[in-house]
Chains A and B, each alone.
Chain A
């Protein structure tokens, strides 16, 4: 693989020290190109969530290297001062549950991110509406999150992950609460969006329904990643 996207080299994460130290990540090597959607699969306790937290700049790895686009963001220490700004501007998140802000309407839930980045309100809302059109939830733009179906909420959450046009999106079990049809629809949307916005998307999943759709899969076991080719099955 070549190109930008996100590249992880020899990433390690150790919790604690001395006799009680636990190596949650021992050797993680990954590369996801722009426009690509890869699966990250592993049993419970394998280090998936720890990896996601490291990639999301939520916790600090112990060693290794992370390159986002052209920038080294971690090389045995953070190379970026403002991690919040990094998360806001360059990393998109899609969670297992949509976790939309219940007191903001759908548009503002998505437009909030660009607003936080200093983009004028009108421009931020325009971006949100454009994404709603692409995700087919434009008609729910003024609704409150509680008025949406599960599938609609997840599509809005995807829009929130994409709205700042980050080079990478981390999706944590995004299809877990959905039935087969809707789960495949979400994966289709993620693939479409990855291509449209040149975004690298890492999908952490246990979901047997969607695993065959990935062209590349990273397995993680005892803190070590192994790459394998996926079926890349058509999800239509």
Chain B
């Protein structure tokens, strides 16, 4: 038996291909939306992977350091290091800010990393160019996506830094590229005010009789000194020794240090389930709307194509064609249209849309497979209206009268 759908498509291939391309661009946008969601999840996981930590110790009852602000003393790590099962513990600060460079400015997440070397929690695990930070101050390693170049000098708040190394796929959960600087510098950038503000604060402190008491020498100096130093970090990253259960180690830290500790799976839930939850819902809604629009377009196109063949369908029915042959004709055309659209959509999403999107777009094979199945199902469902119209055609229409 010849394929009626195939012959019809070949006969009017231009109409099918151009309609399929239009549909394909819509499918491409749908796939890109799914890719953006996957990219956001991937960014969140990459952030956790690259931190090199098994546990995140943060301010009690907060969802820090990524989803909420967290502030803990910078000497807590010493006590944590002594807890059984802890292999390494390192302070870390995170600060999202705008950095000026030659061609405009770029939003980055500045990470303050503790002195050490590659392998220390918080450090970039690998570089694609340059070297790691070797000095205590004013050196930085930047993600290549920031557009910063080796040797370039950038200003972060009060200080200038030289880019000494470049890394790749070191991004925040928002997809912002990261810039790594020494911890002490980061603490200053995060908490130290500008000179005018420091001067104003000193004057206000000196004018406060509670801090500037006659007969208590040294009190004012001590208060001012405490105001101009910063003993805080956002979190302590902990690596657990092999053979230890991270949850048990986390429980020990919670009990002895009275801090909140998250394991990798808990932190992943916070990032994916809370930090990007709203964005994920928005993307899901877009996916639903785009799927509905695609369904409506396919249904309309197939319905129009079927109406254009009413006379042929009447003749086919009159000469004894079974309903299932007519149903197959319409459904196969609908699926063919969907497949053309999917191929065009996949190509446009991969080659056209993903590279130019400012967000990381991750097109996973499984998503493509699900997308393909969804497209086929949408096409099958969308053809129902046209099939109903075709089955209602009276074969007597071919005779006329």
Contact = CB atoms under 8 A, between A and B. Distances in A.
Contact of B399 (A56, A85, A108, A117): A56
Given A102-B11, A103-B8, A104-B7, A50 B401 contact: yes
Contacts of A87: 318-320, 395
Contacts of B401: 48-50, 52-53
A113 interface: yes
A208 B401 CA distance: 19
Interface in A93-128: 93, 95-96, 99, 101-104, 108, 111-113, 115-117, 121
Contact of A99 (B2, B8, B10, B398): B398
Contacts of A101: 4, 312, 315-316
Contacts of A113: 319-320
Nearest to A103: B11
Nearest to A112: B2
Interface in A74-103: 84-89, 93, 95-96, 99, 101-103
Contacts of A22: none
B400 A121 contact: no
Contacts of B226: none
Contacts of B129: none
A89 to B, nearest CB: 7
B2 A160 contact: no
A95 B398 contact: yes
B319 A160 contact: yes
B329 to A, nearest CB: 10
Chain A binding surface SS class: helix
Interface residues of B, number: 26
A58 interface: yes
Nearest to A53: B396
B10 A172 contact: no
Given A49-B401, A58-B396, A58-B399, A116 B2 contact: no
B320 A95 contact: no
Contacts of B319: 87-88, 93, 112-113, 116, 160
A93 B398 contact: yes
B318 A93 contact: yes
Interface in B361-401: 394-396, 398-401
Contacts of B135: none
A172 B7 contact: no
Contact of A116 (B7, B10, B315, B321): B321
Nearest to B396: A58
A59 interface: yes
B316 to A, nearest CB: 7
B216 to A, nearest CB: 101
Given A85-B320, A93-B319, A99-B311, A172 B325 contact: no
Interface in B148-168: none
B128 interface: no
A169 to B, nearest CB: 12
B13 to A, nearest CB: 10
Nearest to B7: A103
A56 B7 CA distance: 28
Contacts of A102: 11, 312
B322 A84 contact: yes
A52 B399 contact: yes
Contacts of B394: 58
Contacts of A99: 311-312, 315, 398
Contacts of B346: none
B7 A88 contact: no
B321 A95 contact: no
Nearest to A117: B320
Interface in B1-50: 1-2, 4, 7-8, 10-12
Nearest to A146: B11
Interface in B91-109: none
A108 B7 contact: yes
Interface of A: 48-50, 52-53, 56, 58-59, 84-89, 93, 95-96, 99, 101-104, 108, 111-113, 115-117, 121, 144, 160, 172
Given A99-B315, A144-B11, 11 more contacts: A53-B399, A56-B399, A87-B318, A88-B319, A93-B399, A95-B398, A101-B316, A108-B7, A116-B1, A121-B1, A172-B400
8 contacts: A49-B401, A52-B399, A53-B396, A53-B399, A86-B320, A101-B316, A115-B1, A116-B321
Which 5 pairs from chain A and chain B are nearest by CB? A88-B320, A49-B401, A103-B11, A103-B8, A84-B320
